C-alpha cells in the first residue's frame, strides 16, 4: 500500500484540483491510499507518507513548523505549482516594503502574523521533486506519481518553451514585436500562449541556466516598455531562486 498526503499552504487551490482530474488514473495504478487531503475528504489522518504533495507557499511561522513536520513524516516530498516551488504570485511582496503593504491591505495589521516574505518549501526543507506550472499540468502530475512508484526520475521537459513553440511551427511573437519569456522558461505547457499569438509570461518558471541578460538585451533592443527583469519578478515565480539571485546581483 502506497500512502499519499496532499497538503495546502498559501495558494489558490488550483494545483490540487489536478488530482481530481486524474483520480481514475490514480485508482488504476493500484494499491494507493490518500490518507490526508483536506480539500477532497472529510476524514484525514496525519500519518507516515510515502509521497507528500505540497501546494502553496510558506507564509506564516506555523507554515514553517508544518512543512518541517511533513518532511519528517514523508519518504518523498514533491512541491506542486509556482506557489510551492517559487513563492508564487504572492511573493511579489518580497521585493516591496512589507510594513507598508500590511498597512495598505489590512485595517488592523497588528493582528497579522505572516512572514515578511512568501517562500518556496525548499527554503526550509529538502524537496525531492519540484513540479512546475501555474497551475500544474495533470499529465505531469500523473508522470510524477508513476515515476516515484517505479523509483525513476520523472520524464518531464527541461528544455525551454521555445523548443515546443518551434516544433509546433508557431511564428515567433518576440520577433513580431511582443515580449515573450519562452527562451528562459521551462517547457511542458505545449507553448500555449505563443500558439494563441501572445508572449509567454513565464508561469512554468526558469530553465536550469536561463540567459536572462541576453533576453533583457533583446527586450531593450525591441524597445519594450518597463524593465523586463522587474516584469519577471512581478509574475508567477517571483521568488524562484534563480530570479532571486539575479535580482540580488542587479540591486
Which residues of this chain interact with ligand SF4, rule CB under 6 A? 11-12, 14-15, 55, 81-83, 88-89, 134-135, 161-162, 165-166, 170, 172-174, 180, 182-183, 185, 189, 191-194, 200-204
Nearer to ligand SF4, 34 or 165 (CB): 165
Smallest separation (angstroms) from ligand SF4 to the CB of 147 = 20
Beta bridge partners of 74: 49
Q: Give the nearest distance from C-beta 160 to ligand SF4 in angstroms.
A: 7
Question: How, if at all, do strands 74-80 and 129-131 pair?
Answer: parallel
Quote the least distance from Cβ 1 to ligand SF4, whole Å: 28
Q: 194 or 210: whose CB is closer to ligand SF4?
A: 194
Cβ 136 to ligand SF4 shortest distance, Å? 7
Bridge-partner residues for 222, per DSSP? none
Give me the residue whose beta carbon is nearest to ligand SF4.
Answer: 182
Burial of 187 (0-12, 13-18, 19+ CB in 10 A): buried
- Residue number with CB closer to ligand SF4 (12 or 26): 12
Nearer residue to ligand SF4 within complex by CB, 145 or 162: 162
Distance (Å, whole) CA 178 – CA 50: 45
Q: Quick count: other Cβ atoms within 10 Å of Cβ 84?
A: 33
| Helical spans, DSSP H, in the chain | 17-21, 23-29, 61-73, 81-86, 98-105, 138-149, 161-167, 192-195, 212-222, 228-233, 241-250
CB 121 to ligand SF4: min, Å: 12
For ligand SF4, which is the closer residue by CB, 6 or 15?
15
Amino acid at each position: 500500500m502506497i500512502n499519499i498526503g496532499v497538503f495546502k499552504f498559501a495558494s489558490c487551490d488550483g494545483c490540487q484540483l489536478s488530482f481530481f482530474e486524474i483520480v481514475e488514473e490514480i485508482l488504476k495504478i493500484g494499491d494507493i491510499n490518500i490518507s490526508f487531503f483536506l480539500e477532497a475528504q472529510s476524514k484525514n489522518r496525519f500519518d507516515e507518507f510515502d509521497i507528500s504533495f505540497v501546494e502553496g507557499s510558506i507564509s506564516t511561522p506555523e507554515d514553517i513548523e508544518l512543512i518541517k513536520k511533513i518532511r519528517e513524516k514523508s519518504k518523498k516530498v514533491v512541491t506542486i505549482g509556482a506557489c510551492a516551488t517559487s513563492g508564487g504570485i504572492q511573493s511579489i511582496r518580497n521585493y516591496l516594503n512589507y510594513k507598508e503593504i500590511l498597512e495598505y491591505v489590512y485595517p488592523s495589521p497588528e493582528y497579522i502574523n505572516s512572514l515578511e516574505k512568501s517562500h518556496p518549501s525548499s527554503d526550509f526543507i529538502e524537496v525531492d521533486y519540484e513540479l512546475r506550472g501555474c497551475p500544474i499540468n495533470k499529465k505531469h502530475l500523473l508522470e510524477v506519481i508513476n515515476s516515484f512508484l517505479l523509483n525513476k526520475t520523472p520524464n518531464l521537459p527541461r528544455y525551454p518553451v521555445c523548443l515546443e513553440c518551434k516544433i509546433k511551427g508557431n511564428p515567433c511573437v518576440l520577433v513580431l514585436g511582443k515580449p515573450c519569456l519562452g527562451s528562459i522558461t521551462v517547457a511542458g505547457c505545449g507553448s500555449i500562449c505563443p500558439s494563441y499569438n501572445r508572449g509567454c509570461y513565464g508561469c512554468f518558471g526558469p530553465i536550469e541556466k536561463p540567459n536572462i541578460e541576453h533576453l533583457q538585451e533583446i527586450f531593450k533592443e525591441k524597445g519594450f516598455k518597463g524593465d523586463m527583469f522587474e516584469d519577471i519578478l512581478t509574475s508567477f515565480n517571483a521568488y524562484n531562486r534563480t530570479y532571486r539571485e539575479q535580482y540580488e546581483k542587479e540591486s
